[in-house]
A and B are shown apart, each in its own frame.
Chain A
Amino acid sequence: MQDLSNSDCIVIQGSNMAECHPVAYQWVTEAKLKGAKVVHIDPRFTRTSATADRHVPIRAGSDVVFLGALINHVLSNELFFKEYVVSYTNAATLISEEFQDTEELDGLFSGYDDDRGAYDPKSWAYASKEAEEEGGTDDQSGGEIGDPGSGHVHGEQRSEQAAGDQHGSGGPPLEHARVLRDETLQHPRTVFQILKRHYARYTPAMVADTCGISVDDFAYVARAVTENSGRERTTAWVYAVGWTQHTLGAQFIRTSAILQLLLGNMGRPGGGVMALRGHASIQGSTDIPTLYNLLPGYLAMPVAGQHDTWQDYIGAIGSKKQKGFWTHADAYAVSLLKAWWGEKATAANDWAFDYLPRLTGAHGTYQTTMAMLDGEVEGYFLLGQNPAVGSAHARMQRQGLAKLKWLVVRDLNMIESATFWKDSPEIETGELSPEDIETEVFFLPPASHVEKDGTFTQTQRMLQWHHKAVEPPGDCRSDLQFFFDLGKRLKAALAESTDERDRPLLDLTWDYPENEHGDPDAEAVLREINGFHLSGDKAGQPLSAYTEMKADGSTSGGCWIYTGVFADGVNRSANRRPGQEQNLTALDWGWAWPANRRILYNRASADPEGNPWSERKRYVWWDQAEQKWTGEDVPDFPPNTAPSFRPEPGTGGPEGIAGDDPFIMQADGKGWLFTPKGMVDGPLPTHYEPQESPVANPLYSQQSNPSRKVFPRKDNLWAPSANQPGSDVYPYVFTTYRLTEHHTAGGMSRWLPYLAELQPEFFCEVSPELAAERGLENGGWATVVSARSAVECRVLVTERMTPLVLSGRTIHQIGLPYHWGVGRDAIVSGDAANDLLGVALDPNVQIQESKAGSCDIIAGRRPRGEALLRLVEEYQSRSGTTALTGNELRTTGDGS
């Protein structure tokens, strides 16, 4: 975070940092005071824009066009950082002859399968020697080239999986990394030349017509980022959910990653792509995942048909022949299984691998909601989340809750998800009534953050211990205690069971020291996460680093990337050497994974010979005298691998990392401009329109992401897009956002008197032009109608909203903060903006598109009771929408 103050230029896009992460914004201010340029690219003018050098308004959902045009600008004008790009990225790598680009197939990449609505990525692979009779030179040897696509993953299941976030600590596996390279970058099938062709039509004119950004504004940003990148200067990109919440959200972020690699800004001080996350431990709950598709440390949950045996599983998560630290994934997985099943996990039973349940597709929160509606889910736990207000299509969420047999809500306050049965909007419309809802609801109050010990992992992977200050009041208990207690009760209830299905529960290690109130010792849990030596001289001692983990059952550890947080028996997350006594990196405050590194891939902050790219951007370098890497941070590289080191061709693992392979978690040690594997919707980001859009895709007849996840249902209708009949019924774009004074669905803010008073009411932001067009008055009421629902809000008429002109046509955007919900318990309540959203998902990460939708806006309050349903139906009928509208995946070619 502090490192942003080292930037010479900061582009904030898809984030309103000054209002949503205001304390972190002090580092942007510090950079600005030192002369850095700050640019804010966002549909709305906010405090971030006000403090930036320039605000560039953009149409929601068009970011790939803008970023793609910057890539094109950098490539066409030779503004990339050549030495960095050639040495540290896969620009020189050759791609398979089979690969066909969206420019050739009108918006599809090769490998699209209409039946599955998904890609087989085989043709995106790195070129293999067998297919090559001409061209290219082998990387380091004349040896043969393997198939980079792992044979263990079959296309059918692959596309159903959330894939991108499985690579949270490194890239996907390749069989090995002996690739063909042309370091002159001239071969037509080098990644570099493919990139050039792919983005050739992403021009300033295309940006103007698609994003609504003037040629002048584009030139300003292009100049700012290229003038502030290179040996002497670095540019940082900052984003938040304004990028992730799209049907191609992961590709938004990929586009900026490509640009930052081309400009040589990755792994360097003041560079990088910074994700600003919104919850205290949302990074931690991804690392130690309460997510369906992951095990701790980004190990995959096993999938039926792909990982039926231990050998299948280990082969799929990391090949022994690829480079880098993922080759030891077997040691990480065995250590995890030892942590969970102790002595019951043995070599003979494949470390109890069969105890793990198997996935058969995507089981994300939205799929689960639909399973509730279908009566397949009986019981549900809500742990500090309020989906009745905070999830997309909140109406569908509430209706799902009403179908459960039982619901456990653990929250500090009486949130709407706990009271839906008596005061939800569906009670008012008559769709639900308390007397008909079978759901039993248990409300169990939790301890607050000051009433328990534990760690949060903040947005830059740093674990910080928070100390318990007081005991929790009344029935309040920590979630640690709740789950420890529940586990003990489940084990006791099944103690006599001989059913094989109960073995994983009965054999589970589940004994933590507890205090007089039954609250387990959080440090004991963190020690288990860190891991131990189980045998040998050091038996019982904590592991110091994940490199000590073994695949032979002699170590345990619950999350390999967190190993080291308890090195030498010291809880390093509780390190609190004051910042003023340290340098900016502040290595003695908290502990960041992996190995307390603060900037990932920081070997790239030195040139291929190991010297800093410049004195000004000195960070990590090779100390020739000491024969080791050193610097301001913990070097993210094998500590004694010299810059000149070249491994024997074909060497796998960390020993296979050459001295100039900074991206040590990638299977080939290089930063990936082109992703031969790992992204399910294409190896390069390509612009597609949102699921609902007033604009026809100007680049391809393929309108939207052809592999996005859609759910054609009568309760999930979409406005017709582009120029289709009925699209004028919902003529405006809406985008949702957060305010400084509230926290997501309000569970931690709408019950606090100060915060409720500061932001009491749901409102919409509209431009004076739209207000005039629709007769809206500042301070008056408006009703916003989508194809799912209608909500009412106060009107804020403001020039902060800019009508955008695209090819002569004006597009109005409406801003909607989404913190309020309908209920009687909060200090402030109101309609929920999330009621307007439908469910369509990014195929990589299964995240919903909530940053761009279509709506109408009319003056006045919404109708009450059943009349509300009639208003929504009247709009649906007028637009002609059906369950199929917007759900056609392929809109280009004949589809055969």
Chain B
Amino acid sequence: MDARRTFLSWPVVRQVRSGDLLGRGPSVTSQKTREIEPRTSSADRVVQSVCPYCAVGCGQRVFVKDERVVQIEGDPDSPISRGRLCPKGSASEQLVNSPGRQRKVLYRRARGTQWESLELETAMQMITDRFLASRRAGWQDRDEHGRPLRRTMGIASLGGATLDNEENYLIKKLFTAAGAIQIENQARI
């Protein structure tokens, strides 16, 4: 018998001593439970962020341990959200860590029936080649009245409302310089 186990650790006595009269609290807590610490208290660092779902812009605190995100919680300092998050924002740790998240480049060839793996570098070069070819194929110098168009109708894009302003800026800048105009995002939908 454990030497520390004495009369005082008898269940009923524990209940009375700890004030846990219904026996649902500290008097019945296991050693394992007692030793559990919140992930938020053992994190190496906390980083301020913003919820990636809707446009309310709730503040988030991202808890990092061993270079891995271990929890994401509401930021009580935010004057907009005051520490609160909705179910989506509360689940956003899974957005980062869920096993279903894709972490590798995949490729489906024309008429293919399955995914194939591909090196990122190879994919980037293939996309660059195709971009230039389609840009050329859809190029229009002038309209039927001879007015300048200087554009390509061969390339289009959809997306941006979930991205950063800086990303949208580079997307618009690059596509516009390349002559691609069919650039759209969720704001049209």
Instruction: Tell whether B38 is near chain A: CB-to-CB under 8 Å.
Output: no
Query: A412-B101, A441-B108, A589-B78 are known contacts. Are A755 and B127 too (CB-CB below 8 A)?
Result: no
B186–A744 CB distance below 8 A: yes
Instruction: Tell whether B48 is near chain A: CB-to-CB under 8 Å.
Output: yes
Contacts of B84 in A (CB 8 A): 23, 26
Instruction: Tell whether A94 is near chain B: CB-to-CB under 8 Å.
Output: no
Instruction: Tell whether A479 is near chain B: CB-to-CB under 8 Å.
Output: yes
A529–B52 CB distance below 8 A: no
Query: A292-B182, A450-B49, A522-B166 are known contacts. Are A390 and B56 too (CB-CB below 8 A)?
Result: no
Contacts of A259 in B (CB 8 A): none
Contacts of A505 in B (CB 8 A): 177-178
Instruction: Tell whether A568 is near chain B: CB-to-CB under 8 Å.
Output: no
Complex: how many Å from CA A348 to CA B179? 22
B164–A452 CB distance below 8 A: yes
Query: A469-B64, A501-B150 are known contacts. Are A442 and B100 too (CB-CB below 8 A)?
Result: no
Complex: how many Å from CA A132 to CA B60? 60
B158–A383 CB distance below 8 A: yes
Which among A408, A455, A847 is the interface contact of B164 at CB below 8 angstroms?
Answer: A455
Of the listed stretches A184-192, A372-380, A611-619, A703-711, chain B binds A372-380
B91–A290 CB distance below 8 A: no
A354–B100 CB distance below 8 A: no
Instruction: Tell whether B98 is near chain A: CB-to-CB under 8 Å.
Output: yes
Complex: how many Å from CA A742 to CA B109? 32
Instruction: Tell whether A382 is near chain B: CB-to-CB under 8 Å.
Output: yes
Which among A296, A390, A463, A586 is the interface contact of B79 at CB below 8 angstroms?
Answer: A586
- Among A272-305, those with CB < 8 Å from B are 276-292, 295-296, 301, 304-305
Of the listed stretches A102-110, A486-494, A631-639, A875-883, chain B binds A486-494
Query: A586-B79, A589-B78, A751-B101 are known contacts. Are A1 and B56 too (CB-CB below 8 A)?
Result: yes
A579–B186 CB distance below 8 A: no
B184–A292 CB distance below 8 A: yes
Of the listed stretches A49-57, A363-371, A769-777, A885-893, chain B binds A363-371
- Among B83-116, those with CB < 8 Å from A are 84-92, 94-96, 98, 100-115
- Among A435-468, those with CB < 8 Å from B are 435-445, 448-452, 454-459, 462-468
Contacts of B155 in A (CB 8 A): 377-381
Question: Number of contact residues on B: which range applies?
Answer: 35 or more
Contacts of B50 in A (CB 8 A): 280, 449, 456, 458, 464-466
Which among A162, A392, A476, A755 is the interface contact of B87 at CB below 8 angstroms?
Answer: A755
Contacts of A522 in B (CB 8 A): 164, 166
Which among A304, A452, A477, A752 is the interface contact of B95 at CB below 8 angstroms?
Answer: A752
Query: A365-B158, A445-B104 are known contacts. Are A354 and B150 too (CB-CB below 8 A)?
Result: yes
Of the listed stretches B2-10, B20-28, B141-149, chain A binds B141-149
B174–A486 CB distance below 8 A: yes
Which among A414, A440, A454 is the interface contact of B166 at CB below 8 angstroms?
Answer: A454
- Among B9-59, those with CB < 8 Å from A are 45, 47-59
Shortest A304–chain B CB gap in Å is: 5
Which among A383, A392, A450, A825 is the interface contact of B96 at CB below 8 angstroms?
Answer: A450
- Among B69-84, those with CB < 8 Å from A are 69, 72, 76-82, 84
Q: Nearest chain-A residue to B166 (Cβ)?
A: A525
Instruction: Tell whether A646 is near chain B: CB-to-CB under 8 Å.
Output: no
Contacts of A384 in B (CB 8 A): 159-163
* Most-contacted residue by chain B among A365, A379, A522, A529 (CB, 10 A): A379
Contacts of B111 in A (CB 8 A): 434-438
A529–B186 CB distance below 8 A: no
Q: Nearest chain-B residue to A848 (Cβ)?
A: B189
B161–A493 CB distance below 8 A: no
Which among B52, B104, B109, B174 is the interface contact of A440 at CB below 8 angstroms?
Answer: B109
Which among A445, A526, A748 is the interface contact of B162 at CB below 8 angstroms?
Answer: A748
Contacts of A165 in B (CB 8 A): 187
Which among B62, B137, B162, B168 is the interface contact of A289 at CB below 8 angstroms?
Answer: B168
Which among B88, B110, B159 is the interface contact of A410 at CB below 8 angstroms?
Answer: B159
A279–B184 CB distance below 8 A: no
Which among A465, A744, A751 is the interface contact of B98 at CB below 8 angstroms?
Answer: A751
Q: Nearest chain-B residue to A26 (Cβ)?
A: B84
B166–A377 CB distance below 8 A: no
A486–B131 CB distance below 8 A: yes
Instruction: Tell whether A360 is near chain B: CB-to-CB under 8 Å.
Output: yes
Complex: how many Å from CA A872 to CA B117? 39
A450–B94 CB distance below 8 A: no
A732-767 vs B, Cβ < 8 Å mask (1 yes, 0 no): 000000001111100011011111001000000000
B103–A459 CB distance below 8 A: no
A356–B150 CB distance below 8 A: yes
Shortest A575–chain B CB gap in Å is: 11
B167–A483 CB distance below 8 A: yes
Complex: how many Å from CA A134 to CA B172? 51
Which among A24, A276, A445, A526 is the interface contact of B105 at CB below 8 angstroms?
Answer: A445
Which among B60, B82, B113, B170 is the interface contact of A480 at CB below 8 angstroms?
Answer: B170
| 14 A–B pairs (Cβ distance < 8 Å), ordered by A | A23-B85, A276-B54, A278-B186, A280-B54, A290-B160, A292-B181, A295-B172, A382-B159, A383-B171, A384-B162, A441-B107, A452-B164, A470-B68, A485-B124
User: Which B positions have Cβ atoms within 8 angstroms of A?
Assistant: 45, 47-60, 62, 64, 67-69, 72, 76-82, 84-92, 94-96, 98, 100-115, 118, 120, 123-134, 137-139, 141, 143, 145, 147-174, 176-189
Not counting A358-B143, A358-B150, A751-B100, a sample of 16 additional A-B residue pairs whose C-beta atoms are within 8 angstroms of each other reads A278-B54, A280-B161, A281-B165, A379-B155, A382-B159, A390-B186, A456-B52, A456-B57, A457-B165, A469-B45, A475-B105, A483-B170, A501-B179, A579-B78, A751-B101, A758-B87
